[in-house]
Amino acid sequence: MDLTSVTLRRLRMCLKTPFTTSFGSFKEKDFILVEVRDREGVSGWGESVAFTTPWYTEETLQTNWHLLEDVLIPMLLEKPIHHPDQVSELFVSVKRNQMAKSALEGAVWDLYARRQGKPLAKVLGGEKTAIEVGISLGIQPKVQDLLHRIEESIKEGYRRIKIKIKPGWDMDILAEIRCHFPDVPLMVDANSAYQPEDLNHLKRLDEFNLMMVEQPLASENLIDHAILQQSLSTPICLDESIGSLENARQAIELGSCGIINIKIGRVGGLTPAKAIHDLCREKGIPVWCGGMLESGIGRGHNIALTTLSNFMMPGDTAASARYWDRDIICPEVTVTNGWIQVPQSPGIGYEPDQEAIDAYTLYSNTYRA
């Protein structure tokens, strides 16, 4: 692959409705869009999923810009590579900074697939032609608002509902939801809002017939997740705790979870994401693809990854229109009866909408070999 330049753009897109987790609320999404170009002028696209503050992991938009500009782009443009798998190898000497690595690696994967004239899903070894998706609903001002959002989401066809929980917005809310929607496939995500001492309280989650409870405790705390899993019949799903293949191996060995949420950005790219997927398949741990309120570019990457066989549960990659008035890809991602048809055109299979990208760009910079 003859890479000649990389362009970073900082975009700001307004969310249709604010998204609230146990750590705070977002009204807009600021992120870095990455474009790699080769000698023939073909482009590949990637997206950094880092937020502007380090509430989810330690990375931020600014730390990603720094890593990309000062470390990763110079490394990538210095040495020729032949396959996108070599990008994560090239970055082994750089500790962590997974989202920064992933943004660039994803762009190289897209370019590689486009050059082959094949969909990224195929190039990754994915077989599915359609993927099943769910929806993640943030904490709402009132229970009534949440019930209304759930009803709408079911009507739109989403295959499972995930709600965000935190102390004070958990058991009573779930009781209310189950009263109105006794059978809807339901799960909860705490984004580490609980402490090991909350074990007895968390045991009550078993009353609500949940598919899983996502990341109840701190990311570093695999031991207490294992202890909690022993007293819960609801499977624990780890999100923030899984930053690498090694984290996944340890969580599985310790019994810290029964399910893993794979996010490409959190694990450093598509190559490591695939390695975690393969390990989980071997160990009998089902996986699903999480979301980070991505633009269409990141959404396209998620869809391609989800075509791998061990993605056995609906992911969080909802339709473009659930987040944005206008997405930055053509066509936008649409969901019909809870399914997304995997695009069959080359690369991520969605074309970047240059006009929309320009309209959302705050500033940009290009780096040449």
Ligand X SMILES: O=C(O)CCC(=O)c1ccccc1C(=O)O
> What does 318 bind: Mg ion, ligand X, none (CB cut-off 5 to 8 Å by kind)?
ligand X
Residues 152-191, interacting with ligand X (CB under 6 A)? 189, 191
293 binds ligand X (CB under 6 A): yes
347 binds ligand X (CB under 6 A): no
Pick the closer one to ligand X by CB: 50 or 90.
50
Nearest to 154 by CA among 166, 162, 165: 162
239 binds ligand X (CB under 6 A): yes
291 binds ligand X (CB under 6 A): yes
Question: Could you tell me if residue 211 is left (phi over 0), alpha (psi between -120 and 50 degrees) or otherwise beta?
Answer: alpha
Looking at this protein, which amino acid is placed at residue 126? Answer: G
Of residues 29, 101, 162, 164, which has the active-site annotation? 164
Determine if residue 214 is labeled as part of a ligand binding site.
yes
239 binds Mg ion (CB under 5 A): yes
Question: Could you tell me if residue 214 is left (phi over 0), alpha (psi between -120 and 50 degrees) or otherwise beta?
Answer: beta
Determine if residue 239 is labeled as part of a ligand binding site.
yes
For the question of residue 263 being annotated catalytic, the response is yes
- Name the minimum Å distance from CB 186 to Mg ion: 15
306 binds ligand X (CB under 6 A): no
Determine how many CB atoms are found less than 10 A away from the CB of residue 45. Answer: 29
353 binds Mg ion (CB under 5 A): no
> What does 316 bind: Mg ion, ligand X, none (CB cut-off 5 to 8 Å by kind)?
ligand X
Q: Which of 248, 292, 304, 305 binds ligand X (CB under 6 A)?
A: 292
Q: Which residues contact 128 (CB under 8 A, 6 or more apart)?
A: 121, 306, 307, 309, 311, 342
Cα of 281 vs its chain's centroid, Å: 19
In angstroms, the CA 52 to CA 30 distance is: 7
Of residues 29, 162, 263, 274, which has the active-site annotation? 263
316 binds ligand X (CB under 6 A): yes
Q: Which of 269, 290, 343, 346 binds ligand X (CB under 6 A)?
A: 290
Determine how many CB atoms are found less than 10 A away from the CB of residue 207. Answer: 12
Pick the closer one to ligand X by CB: 6 or 280.
280
Residues 187-206, interacting with Mg ion (CB under 5 A)? 189
In angstroms, the CA 267 to CA 59 distance is: 12
| 95 secondary structure, DSSP code | -
Looking at this protein, which amino acid is placed at residue 166? Answer: K
CB 49 within 8 A of CB 31: yes
Determine if residue 246 is labeled as part of a ligand binding site.
no
316 binds Mg ion (CB under 5 A): no
59 binds ligand X (CB under 6 A): no
Q: Which residues contact 144 (CB under 8 A, 6 or more apart)?
A: none
Determine how many CB atoms are found less than 10 A away from the CB of residue 6. Answer: 26
338 binds ligand X (CB under 6 A): no
- Name the minimum Å distance from CB 262 to Mg ion: 11
For the question of residue 155 being annotated catalytic, the response is no
Nearest to 39 by CA among 5, 15, 79, 12: 5
Nearest to 291 by CA among 96, 29, 74: 29
- Residues lying near ligand X in the complex (CB under 6 A) are found at 56, 136, 189, 191, 239, 290-293, 316, 318
Residues with catalytic roles: 164, 263
* Annotated binding residues: 189, 214, 239
- Residues lying near Mg ion in the complex (CB under 5 A) are found at 189, 214, 239
* Annotated binding residues for Mg(2+): 189, 214, 239
